[in-house]
Structure 1
Amino acid sequence: MKFEAFLFAGVALFFAVMGGIYDWFAKEPAGKAALAIAFLMSSLISAFFFIQSRRRGPRAQDRREVPVAETAGPLDFFAPHSWYPPITAAGAAVIALGMVFGVWLMLIGTGITAGGVAGFVFQYGNRGD
């Protein structure tokens, strides 16, 4: 995960440089805030990947001398089918409509989205892993 950490550190550096250039030429606060937030978010992801690479050690993909056969095999369990992605998406759409039409619709959308997210979390909770 060290490569990913350096990749997002490069993205963070890009946003920091662009934020400095933007601050120099434009005296508008919204763009500066957006670039600062983009810098902070990419820095957070970079720090997460760096900490994970230090904690878990190098992966097989991080070493150059590893044969391809060593990285073969199942990666993880992926759900074959689920009703929760469309439920969550519908809840997010109702939240967006609630921003236009009223808080009451936004609260309904929040309930739908919470149900979809809870379904994601607990759908395969009893797999026995």
Structure 2
Amino acid sequence: MSHHDDDHVPEQVKPMRVEAWLFSAGVLFFVPVGILYGFVADWEPVGVVGFFLLGAMFALAGGYMWLTARRVDPRPEDNPTADIEDRAGEVGVFAPHSWWPLVLGIAATLAFAGLALGWWMVGIGIVVGLVGLVGQLFEFSRGQHAH
């Protein structure tokens, strides 16, 4: 029996293990750094809370990866003996060109500029953002690329 079988995935391989460990490692880094920063900076609240929130965000993402790994089948990238072409195929559906991200960017610009110029502009940014969001969501429902 050769070292590499085409369709064999080792049974001990668990899906998404690398992603789960990667995000969980952020907790093991940012929480101790937050504690160390607290001692060095005399528990300055903004930095300490920032480091702890970073640890919490990594814990949230890592926990999601651990839970998702329990529900999905092993992927080719989870198999250390897999070939590159095992993952070949359709990646997803992408718009060949779209103006809606530009509209959403303009909406974000208007909303953030409204913080400095006046709350009325934040309202305009929100309205433009809603129009852009609806346009982006229904992009494939109408027109040239309708499904």
TM-score > 0.5 by shorter chain: yes
Instruction: Provide the residue aligned with 1:91 in structure 2.
Output: 107
Q: State the distance in 2 between where 1:24 and 1:58 align.
A: 43
- Match of residue 107 from structure 1: 123
1:112 offset after TM fit, Å? 1.1
State how far apart, in whole Å, the 1-side matches of 2:26 and 2:141 are: 36
Q: Which residues of structure 1 form unaligned runs of 5+?
A: none
Structure 1 residue 46, shift from structure 2 partner = 1.0
Cα RMSD of the aligned pairs, angstroms, is 1.5
Over the matched positions of the two proteins, sequence identity in percent amounts to 30
Look up the SS of the partner of 2:140 in the other structure.
coil
Match of 2:44 among 28, 41, 46: 28
Q: Look up the match of 2:73.
A: 57
2: CA distance, partners of 1:125 / 1:70: 32
* Residue from 13, 25, 30 that aligns with 2:28: 13
115-124 vs 69-78, greater mean Cα deviation: 115-124
Question: Residue 4 of structure 2 corresponds to which residue in structure 1?
Answer: none
The number of equivalent residue pairs is: 128
- The structural deviation recorded for 1:56 is 0.4
Task: State how far apart, in whole Å, the 2-side matches of 1:33 and 1:120 are.
Answer: 35
- TM norm structure 1: 0.90
Q: Which has the higher helix share?
A: 1
Q: Distance in 2 between matches of 1:60 and 1:79?
A: 26
Distance 2:134 2:30 in 1: 35
Shift of 1:111: 1.2
Q: CA deviation at 1:83?
A: 0.8
CA distance in 2 between partners of 1:36 and 1:120 (Å)? 35
The secondary structure found in structure 2 opposite 1:33 is helix
